[in-house]
Structure 1
Amino acid sequence: MTTTTPGVSGTSQETEPAQTEQATPAPEPTAPPSDASGLTHRLATLDRLVELGDGRVDQALMDDAAELLGRAGQRLRLSGDHTIVALAGGTGSGKSSLFNAVCGLELSPTGLRRPMTSSAHACVWGLDGAGPLLDWLEIDKRHRYARASALDQKTGGDGGSLEGLILLDLPDHDSIRSEQVAEVDKYVGVADLLIWVLDPQKYADFAVHRRYLEPLAGHDGVSLIVLNQVDRLAPEEIDECVKDLRRLLEAEGLRAPRILTTSAKSGAGIDDFREVIADTVAARRARTQRLVADLDRLIQRFEGAFGDIEPPTTVDAKRTAGLVEALVDAAGIPAVAEAMESAYGLRALDYVGWPLTRLAARLRSDPLRRMRLGELRDELRSAFTAPVNAQQAHIDNALQDVAEDVVRDLPPSWRKSVREAGRSNAEALPEALGTSLRDVVPAFNQVPAWWWAVRIWQYLLLVVAAVSLVWLGAIGAFAGLKLAHAPTRLLGEAGVAPYVALVFACVLGLGALTALAARNMISLTAVKHSERMEQQMREGVTTAARELVIEPIEQELAVYARFRDEAGHAIRDVAP
């Protein structure tokens, strides 16, 4: 003997609560149907598409895909032995009457006032494993009913068993209360089998067709249209209504809509209606079919998210070289190299120039020299301690040019993502260019060994010249002016003076010739050093360009290639 549902009046003794105060033990995992593995594979593909397309593809599509993945994961984890069948319709369509007719009891209130069904009601055939599913559906415990007697396992007559059925009576979709409309939308999205109950007067209502029936395109196998209250029509009028309704549904994308005619008042068509439900429950496939239909419809929206043309996977050498040249110009590397060449030459003269010539030059005021010399290493390194003074406009143009060449054949959303990838490190690029230049500078402060050799040689010559000059002075004092007795003949004889003067002149000439030869050598080495330093700076810029611009673009292209491949496979898997 069964019990009545607490808090619900007008129920018979054949009903019992679907949820008691005692906790219902969690059901054992249900074996998936034969096609569930294919669904699982397709859901995994969709998950990868969401991961790859997030932030790149239309956000509304990504949100809908994430919602479907979440819903599918929850539904597949819950009982597969139960089929959720939802009865939806407008006020006065008779869906609650059909609900009661299938249940065999007056469980849901009926009437014409709006709204009649204020909350979803559920009747369950077979309680094992239904508790978590009802909790997921968020059915109020006051509106849960169970058919538990042995006679309730059959539809009656020769009909099939309803064991495993969760039948929902939804609120009116045209309710004036927004929370009830939202509740309808929620259950319409999760029901395994969706039954729309229409009446002869409002079966062509624009609101229900546009909001609910048009989105059923592709859901023929998991949707049923019931034209109720046909007792109000003559037989020929029923045929006309069915033909017109079928025409509307086919125009809205339902290729083979299933339409039944019923009358809860007279009982016409009720047995056929219950038999359709029983067949669906017995097949245990509605859960998977609904998810497959939802997945097919969603996947078709990915067709515009990728292009037909095979995308590039790398930025070719020509585009990379163009970017590097643009960044080299933006950083002013040729001008820096020229300035370094000039400064190198001036610094070299401090080592290899004839000291007498340098002394004479320093006695003259030379602002340019004072400005360009000094401690070269400190000056140049301090110039690059902050980000290089590259013109941001030139950098922006360079980044835009390299991206535009690559994204020409990509869909609009992926063009944007590739451009953004190319510009993702735009703020760090000036600092990276400055580092590329700064790291090269210390090499210019190095002093070649031959500079020191020439400098020592020049000072030796200068010492010899000084000794010769003192010698000549001593000869003049001892031999010419007879100021004292010469300690040696080399200082006391005037005939030695021409030889000493010749030595002095030769030393000065040799020093000048050495300075001239060193100057010519410096001119050659300054150019080589400048070219080598410019090449090193270019290599640094190339590294920065590849790490900060080229690699992000190529990574984004790789993501697009994977997305395109995954989406193509997913679309080919859509049921024809």
Structure 2
Amino acid sequence: MTLLTRSTDSSPLRPRLEALDRIVSLGDARLDPALLATARDLSGKAAQRLRLGAEHTVVALAGTTGSGKSSLFNALVGTELAATGLRRPMTSTAQAAVWNPDGAAPLLDWLDVPRRHHLGEEGADDLAGLVLLDLPDVDSVQVSHRLEVDRLVELVDLIVWVVDPQKYADAALHDRYLKPLRTHAELTVVAFNQIDRVPVTGRSSMVDDLRRLLADEELGRVPVLPVSARTGEGVPALRARLAGAVAEHEASVRRLSADLRALADRLGPMCGSSGSPGDVDRADRAEVISALTEASGADAVAAAVARTHRSRTRAATGWPVTRWVAKVRPSAATRLGLPGARLSGDASPSELVRTSLPGASAVQQARVDTALRGLVDRAGAGLPEPWPGLVNRAANGRRDELPDLLDRAVAGTDLGLSRRPHWWGFVRVLQNVLALVALVGALWLLGLFVLDWFRLPEPPLPDVDVWSWRVPVPTGMLLAGVLVGWVLGFVGARLGALGARRRSSGARRRIRARVEQVAAEAVLDPVREELTNRQELCQAITQLRGRRKSAL
């Protein structure tokens, strides 16, 4: 379920939640798995927290052992609900005090806090709608206690970190909790508890030292309130701050806003200094297409088309006596299994029919690798990780399929082999007539030879004038049929050579167009898509960050 399906149409977070949805959808195999898991968890958390509404504000008291969380909890509640004493740890599981508990049960169920104290009518005051949690110690010796703290710190709307004079600079507290929450400064309050145990003259310097530590951790905006749960000093000020947060009914939204901004900060480095998209350079595109065209065997196919057209021209227009030689020998197109190689039957091209073209040579494969590498280097130039690797994966993701895709592209190309020029038929008829004339002349001369052999009287022999020569008609017929047929065959062969060049260049052009489709589908479009995904992801990250709001 996406965040768009939530009842948050009027929420100011809606555009940022939509951006989170896009990040989750685009992040698979692009984001670090831990970051992607964080984004998905935040998506689920936002869906559930917004569904539960902003009528209640969840505030957690968290701190180290002996800081007086439970005592401060009791002071804010106004009664002894949490056990206090010297035995540690006193708080083993989180417990909640709820002012105005109506409708709070689903929220507490989501928080998984079974220990609940409903304050009822006596709690119907300026804190109505507050859910105050007393958490286990962050440095408890019990691992389950620390895990409980970690879980709830991620869910509550506002965190009050309770420190004491002895452990206010505790490294475990600062390194594990305060520093990572520097993006949540507006949702953090530090209560300097047990201030009554510090001499009056030293209180100011101790509080200033804590503020300095927080400033070094980019938490300078976090308010530090000196309090004493035992004497009640500073408790009204803390109570007033909590009452202000409850009255605004925005703490939950601000918490989610801070979570989104923190996630955007973690995702920011993958966009670098600019989220502008890369692109496929025109020269790289042309080089990839040229390399794949060469690897497809386009040159060999074009040469085969030329040889086939020449041989078919000789077979169709040559002298009939020798024409059968061109018909007996298989054409170059037939030997390579090219579409249209057979004039009879279905000559339409089909990608389902495999050719007999040899595979790409080592040189051709090297050129393809070089073209892909150049494409990756220039398209991914200047991009931060993980984009260079993702661009490389997009460009080479179907590298092993390319030989088969290229062969299918050639098999599906109309090479023009099945089309016969109209002049072939005219020349064929003329050649047949000339052959018949030559045959009649030869038979006539043979008859005369037989009559002379048997000393029989010869019939009158007609003749014709050819350049002042008297040429017998049968001789003229034989010579004219052979010579004119040979000249006509020679002219037809030359015309066939011209047609072969045109068909060869047309076949190579059509193969290149088909290879261009293969290059687009298998290489160029995936690279462009990856670069577009980067642009969309970086735009979503920018939108996810949003604008900072004033502190509570």
| Residue 69 of structure 2 is aligned to residue 104 of structure 1 | no
The letter for the 2-side match of 1:209 is: H
With the length of structure 1 as denominator, give the TM-score of the two structures.
Answer: 0.81
Structure 1 residue 389 and structure 2 residue 359: aligned?
yes
- In the alignment, which residue of structure 1 is the partner of 2:345? none
Q: Which residue of 2 aligns with 1:24?
A: none
Amino acid at match of 2:193: N
1:263 offset after TM fit, Å?
3.0
Report how far residue 454 of structure 1 moved. 2.5
Match of 2:124 in 1: 153
Q: Partner residue of 1:319?
A: 284
Instruction: Provide Cα deviations, 1:293-330, integer angstroms capped at 9, x if missing partner.
Output: 22333323343232445745653543322221121122
Per the alignment, residue 493 of structure 2 pairs with 519
Unaligned runs of 5+ residues in structure 2 are: 1-6, 342-352, 463-469
Question: Does the 8 Å contact 1:84/1:193 carry over to 2?
Answer: yes
Report the equivalent of 1:299: 264
**CA drift at 1:88:** 0.9
Partners of 1:424 and 1:220 in 2: how far apart?
44
Could you say if the C-alpha distance between residues 198 and 152 of structure 1 is closer, same or farther in structure 2, counting changes exceeding 3 Å? same
User: Where does residue 144 of structure 1 map in the other structure?
Assistant: 116
CA distance in 1, matches of 2:322, 2:435: 12
* Shift, 1:81, TM fit: 1.6
Residues 441, 289 of structure 1: alpha-carbon distance in 2 compared, 3 angstrom cutoff: closer
- Structure 2 residue aligned with 1:417, among 375, 381, 390? 390
Code of the aligned partner of 2:124: Q
How does 1:195-234 map onto structure 2 within 5 Å?
Answer: 195-234=160-199
> Which residue of structure 2 aligns with residue 128 of structure 1?
102
2:430 paired residue number: 457
- Matching of residues 89-488 of structure 1 within 5 Å: 89-140=63-114, 143-148=115-120, 150-154=121-125, 161-308=126-273, 311=276, 314-357=279-322, 373=331, 376=334, 379-381=337-339, 384-385=354-355, 389-390=359-360, 392-440=365-413, 443-482=416-455
Provide the rounded CA distance (Å) in 1 between the counterparts of 2:274 and 2:192.
48
1:100 CA drift (Å)? 2.1
The one-letter amino acid of 2:419's match is Q
Q: CA separation in 2, counterparts of 1:559 and 1:374?
A: 47
For residues 316-363 of structure 1, the C-alpha deviation after alignment (integer angstroms, 9 at most, x for no partner) is: 54332222112112223123212332233233222222233457x79x
More displaced stretch, 231-240 vs 207-216 = 231-240
1:531 matched to 2:505? The reply is yes
2:540 is the counterpart of 1:549: no
Give secondary structure in 1 for the equivalent of 2:61: strand
The match for 1:3 is none
Q: For residues 301 and 574 of structure 1, do their structure 2 counterparts lie closer, same or farther at Cα, with a shift above 3 Å needed?
A: farther
1:132 Cα deviation after fit: 0.5
Check 1:433–1:574 CA distance in 2 against 1; reply closer, same or farther (3 A cut).
farther
Letter of the aligned partner of 2:182 in structure 1?
A
CA 1:214–1:470 in 2, change beyond 3 Å: closer, same or farther? same
126 and 386 in structure 1: CA distance in 2 versus 1, 3 angstrom threshold? farther
Aligned residue type for 1:288: V
Aligned-pair CA distance for 1:97 = 1.8
Counterpart contact for 1:227–1:262, Cα < 8 Å: yes
Query: 1:91·1:112 contact (CA, 8 Å) conserved in 2?
Result: no
Cα distance in 1 between the residues matched to 2:336 and 2:418: 9
Report the Cα offset of residue 519 of structure 1.
1.8
Measure, in 2, the Cα distance between the counterparts of 1:314 and 1:233.
64
C-alpha separation between the residues in 2 aligned to 1:57 and 1:386? 44
Cα distance, 1:219 vs. partner? 2.6
5+ residue gaps, structure 1:
1-30, 155-160, 363-368
Structure-2 change in CA distance of 1:374 and 1:396 (3 Å): closer
Report the CA distance shift for 1:261/1:379 in structure 2 as closer, same or farther (over 3 A).
Answer: closer
Q: How many residues align?
A: 522
Give the whole-Å Cα distance in 2 for the aligned partners of 1:41 and 1:437. Answer: 49
Deviation sequence 1:98-151 (CA, Å, 0-9, x none): 2222223332222343432111111111121101101110112xx111111x33
Q: Which has the higher contact order (CA 8 A, sep 6+)?
A: 2
SS in 2 for 1:256: coil
**CA deviation profile, 1:398-452 (whole Å, cap 9, x unmatched):** 2232232222243332333333333344344333322332233552143333233
SS in 2 for 1:194: strand
* Deviation, structure 1 residue 168: 0.7
2:111 maps to a residue whose letter is L
Instruction: Give the distance between the partners of 2:384 and 2:101, measured in 1 at CA.
Output: 51
TM-score, normalised on structure 2?
Answer: 0.85
What amino acid is aligned across from residue 337 of structure 2 in structure 1? E
The Cα of 1:251 is off from its aligned counterpart by: 0.9
CA shift, 1:53, in A, is: 4.3
**Deviation of 1:497 (Å):** 10
Determine the C-alpha separation between the residues in 2 that align with 1:375 and 1:104.
97
Q: Sequence identity of aligned pairs in percent? A: 38
Q: 1:377 touches 1:441 (CA, 8 Å); kept in 2?
A: no
CA distance in 2, matches of 1:269, 1:421: 61
| Alpha-carbon distance change, 506 to 296 in structure 1, aligned in 2, over 3 angstroms | closer
Query: C-alpha distance in 2, partners of 1:309/1:216?
Result: 26
CA contact (8 A) 1:377 1:444 kept: no
